[in-house]
Amino acid sequence: MAASALSTHARAAITGWGTAVPEQRLTNADLEQRVDTTDEWIVERTGIRERRIVGDGETTASLAVEAGTAAIKQAGITPEDINLLIVATATPEQPIPHTGAFVSDGLGIHCGSFDLGAGCAGFLYGLVTGSALLTSGGLGHVLIIGAETLSRIANPKDRGTCILFGDGAAAVVLSPSTEDGPGLLTWDLGCDGSATGLLEVQAGGSRLPATAETIAAGQQFIKMQGQEVFKRAVRAVVESVKNALDRADLTTADVDWFIPHQANARIIEAAANRLGIPAERTVVNIDRYGNTSAASIPLAMAEAADCGKFKDGDIVLLSGFGAGMTWGSAVLRWGTP
């Protein structure tokens, strides 16, 4: 498991956040009309009641721009103050150029930007990368955005996957903090590439370019081996969280808020139970949004912050897992530098 903690003296703290979700809702009742399923079956197995779905004219980049604009405003800065943009996504605007180029144009910024692909753990990878570049490179502000339009790659006829995924975006602004101030304390990242086949979109890349045959076979849609993903996800989250907390000389008893990737309510419950983190300290919004991949953790975090759940000095634990199989955890001390 490749992991480390930031070795620089200064920290990177979250100073702004914002979200963007489509207006259109896809409820379990809607899905009952489409595939062989029921509201009761979906809620019991996933905890999801509805999810947001993009409409005409809405894209990964448009959601990212909306979320980024809100985060910049909330941080009390201007787009010109952003020194680096990282967009975490598994559903890019198009193969070339990268989604960050479209987002940069929409935000009116001209700093460096790049996309980061680490599945549902993408925001955590972006958070760690952005923090490291900010603290080591003397940057003023870094904008991290997780944005997804998973409805565009979900097979509407596959009841095993179409019930799970939703669309949305969330963004955070990172700014310099002091050595003993708020910000990212420690982190843990990892990947088990032997499990790539558990969650994948097979066609459309260099391994299997899109053709009429691949489209006819539905290989442009996401496929998942749900039970195996469930088992591996719980193990990965528990191990990764323990590693990150150990590096911070903390235990789960020190955690004020646990914000897991919103993939499945049963995965969240199983991981929290094994870690000994009670439900009242676990942030969950999967019932309203489903699995929004790289947008999942920042969306839950931003909503909790907007509701006033976090106090200065709170220890906030983030953890996620995704295709690859990738995983990651981050330990934050909340507060304004």
| Residues with catalytic function | 120, 261, 291
What DSSP string describes 277-334? Answer: --GGGB---HHHH-B-GGGHHHHHHHHHHHTT---TT-EEEEEEEETTTEEEEEEEE-
- AA identity, residue 55: G
Judge whether 130 and 87 are in contact, CB under 8 Å.
Answer: no
Q: Determine contact, residues 10/34, Cβ cutoff 8 Å.
A: no
Q: How many CB atoms lie within 10 A of CB 240?
A: 26
161, amino acid identity: T
Return the bridge partners of 291, or none.
165
Give the closest residue to 200 by CA, choosing from 127, 266, 117, 288.
117
Cβ–Cβ < 8 Å for 98, 147 = no
**Helix, strand, coil % in the chain, rounded to nearest 5:** 40, 25, 35
* Cβ pair 334, 322 in contact under 8 A: no
Neighbour tally for 21: CB within 10 Å: 23
How far apart CA 115 and CA 199 sit, in angstroms, is: 20
Give SS3 for 184.
Answer: strand
Cα separations in angstroms, 329 against 52, 101, 125, 155: 26, 28, 9, 30
Q: What are phi and psi of 112, to 5 degrees?
A: -65, 145
| Secondary structure letter of residue 112 according to DSSP | E
